Amino acid sequence: MYNIRIISLLTVSIFISFTLGLLTGFSINGSEVIAYQQQDTIEQLENTLNKLKEVNKKLNADMKEIIKKQKEDCAFLEAHFADIFKNKLIGEKIVILTSGKNNVEILLDSLKKTGAGIEIKNLDEKTFFPVVCDFIILQKDKDENNNDLDGIIKFLKRYKQNFVVVQDYPATDEEKKYYAREKIFYVDEINNVVKKVKLILFLSK
C-alpha cells in the first residue's frame, strides 16, 4: 500500500512537471511568435510611413509648382490686363453705387480699360434713383452689414436692375450664406486681378 502511494505521488509529480515543462515551452515559443509578429508589424508601419513621406514630399513639390504658376499667371494678367480686355465692355453703361467709404479707384481704373461708360453715385445721398444703365455695381463696405444693403437689393430686384455686389475683402461665411439665399452674384477681394477678370466676364455676358 505504501509503495503504491509513493508510486502514485511520483506519477502525479512527473505529470505535473511534464505539464509545466510543456506550458513553459509554449510560453517561450509564444513570446517568440508575438515578438516576431510585433517586429513584422513595426517594419510594415515603417514602410508605410516612408511611402507617405515620399507622397507628401511630391505633393509639396507639386503645390509649390502650382503656386508658382498661379503667381506667374496673375503677373501676366496684371501686365496685359488692358490689352486683353480692351473695349470688352464698350457701349455698356455701368453705375457704381458706393457708400463713399470705399476706395473705388482700383475698380474704376479696371473698368475704364474695358471701354465701359461709368458713373459713380453715392448711396448716402439717397438720390441714386432713377438709374438708367446696363449694370449696377453695388460696392459693399466692410463696416456695412447685410441689413444695410437688404433694402437697396430688394429695390434693385423689384425694378429688375442687373446688378452685382463687389467688396475689397474676403466674404465672410455669413455674407456667403446671405448671397446664396438671395441668389446674388458677388465678387469679393476685387483688388485681386483674378477677381477683376471674374467681374469683367460677368458684365460682358
Looking at CATH, the fold of the domain delimited by 86-203 is given as Rossmann fold (3.40.50)
Domain boundaries, the chain: 1-84, 86-203
- pLDDT grade for 123, boundaries at 50, 70 and 90: confident
Q: Is 173 exposed, middle or buried (0-12, 13-18, 19+ CB in 10 A)?
A: exposed
Residue in 167, 130, 173 with CA at minimum distance from that of residue 149: 167
Portion of the chain with pLDDT greater than 70, in percent? 73
Residues in the chain, overall count = 205
- 188-202: average pLDDT: 91
Rounded to whole angstroms, the Cα distance separating 97 from 181 reads 22
Of the two residues 101 and 195, the one the predictor is more confident about is 195
The number of angstroms, rounded, from the C-alpha of 82 to the middle of its chain's C-alpha atoms is 30
Tell me what the pLDDT averaged over the chain comes to: 79
- For residue 2, is pLDDT > 50? no
